[in-house]
Amino acid sequence: MTNGQEDGQAGAPDVTAGYVDSAGGRLYYEVAGEGRPVLFIHADVADHRMWDEQIAAFSQRYRVIRYDKRGFGKTTSQDGAYSPRADIVALLAHLGVARTFVVGLSNGGALALDFMLEHPEMVDGLVVTAGGVSGFEATPTEDEQRLYTTYTELQERQDAAGLLDLGVHVWCDGPFQPHGRAPESVRERIRQMMSDTERDHHEDLKPSELTPPALERLGAMTTPTLVLLGVYDFPATNAAMELLAARVASAQLATFDSAHMVNMEQPAQFNERVGAFFDAVSGQ
């Protein structure tokens, strides 16, 4: 495992950036602040930049870590199979982190949950936001099915501009909300991150799945867990979050007046709720 270190700025003071090698991949990461570690895992429509407001806020009290998953941002990878959970182990080992809080959103939230289940000894507390539960699939509503059909048609036509516009709308405004409901700054940040991923990444990646999946393990979870959702998100996503909160005895559930990108649309409220959860787990 090797890395290259460089200093930079990424939405928080005194950020250290670097790379760590992990089984055919070279993972980009950033670290800021001192104290108890917190790992942030981004959505698949974004990259490490989606956590700018969280890095700025939490680095004042914590050692915050964010990275680009394979296929995103500055991380590079060979084609083929890999374990996204093993990537996290490699990153934390490189940084000398034995235990950490883990915060993930969307597919990053599903990965955070799977990582905790595979390595519970490494996770002090878990925050899953607008995420998924591996092994769980909700039956789409009629409105969701129509939207999926539109997405498939755009793919078949190779309409990159249409796919980008649809992605910005559903993830920022909410799939069944008026266009432009979300702040323009959030919409443009997601548009940029989605555009960068489409332009820069064409790896043929095959991430391994957690076996057995999270759905079959929720009842045995004891790690303190906070579940967050946005009321304007996909019904299927919210169904997964409600199931997670219901099945995990230690889980707390909170809702936000937002769509999928909860931390970007409601950063102050998100930071306050997550910070209170950290304090409670830490006994402060």
| Positive/negative CA dihedral, 252, 255, 256, 259 | positive
Kindly tell me the burial class for residue 238, based on how many C-beta atoms sit within 10 Å of its own C-beta (0-12, 13-18, 19 or more).
Answer: middle
The DSSP bridge partners found for residue 30 are 17, 66
| pLDDT band at 284; cut points 50, 70, 90 | confident
Alpha-carbon distance 238 to 232, whole Å? 9
Residue listed under structure tokens 């939490």: 58
Cα(97)–Cα(91) distance, integer angstroms: 9
Q: Cα separation of 196 and 107, whole Å?
A: 18
85, 25 contact by CB (below 8 A): no
The pLDDT of residue 54 is 98
Span 72-101, pLDDT tens digits:
999 999 999 999 999 999 999 999 999 999
CA distance 273 to 260: 17
Start-to-end Cα distance in the chain = 36
- Looking up tokens 């250290």, which residue turns up? 16
Classify domain 5-138+203-282 at the CATH superfamily level. Alpha/Beta hydrolase fold, catalytic domain (3.40.50.1820)
Mean pLDDT of 128-141: 96
Token pair 């443009």 in the structure block, residue: 188
Kindly write down the DSSP assignment for every residue of 47-80, as one continuous string.
Answer: -GGGGHHHHHHHTTTSEEEEEPPTTSTT-EE-SE
Share of residues in the chain with pLDDT > 90 (%): 94
Question: pLDDT of 228-282, one tens digit each?
Answer: 999 999 999 999 999 999 999 989 999 999 999 999 999 999 999 999 999 999 9
**Average pLDDT rounded to a whole number, residues 140-150:** 95
Tens digits of residue pLDDT in 42-74: 999 999 999 999 999 999 999 999 999 999 999
Return the pLDDT at 26. 98
- Peptide bond preceding 212: is omega within 30 degrees of 0, i.e. cis? yes
Q: Which of 223, 242, 244 is nearest to 234 (CA)?
A: 242
Q: At what angle do helices 184-200 and 160-168 cross, to 10 degrees?
A: 140
Q: Tell me, what's the pLDDT at 252?
A: 97
pLDDT in tens, 2-44: 344 343 333 445 999 999 999 999 999 999 999 999 999 999 9
DSSP-assigned letters across all residues of 84-116: HHHHHHHHHHHTT-SSEEEEEETHHHHHHHHHH
Mean pLDDT, the chain, rounded, equals 95
Over residues 223-227, the mean pLDDT reads 98
What is the pLDDT, as a whole number, of residue 13? 55
This prediction's pTM: 0.95
**Start-end of CATH 3.40.50.1820 domains in the chain:** 5-138+203-282
**Which tokens belong to 254?**
């909170």
pLDDT at 117 over 70: yes
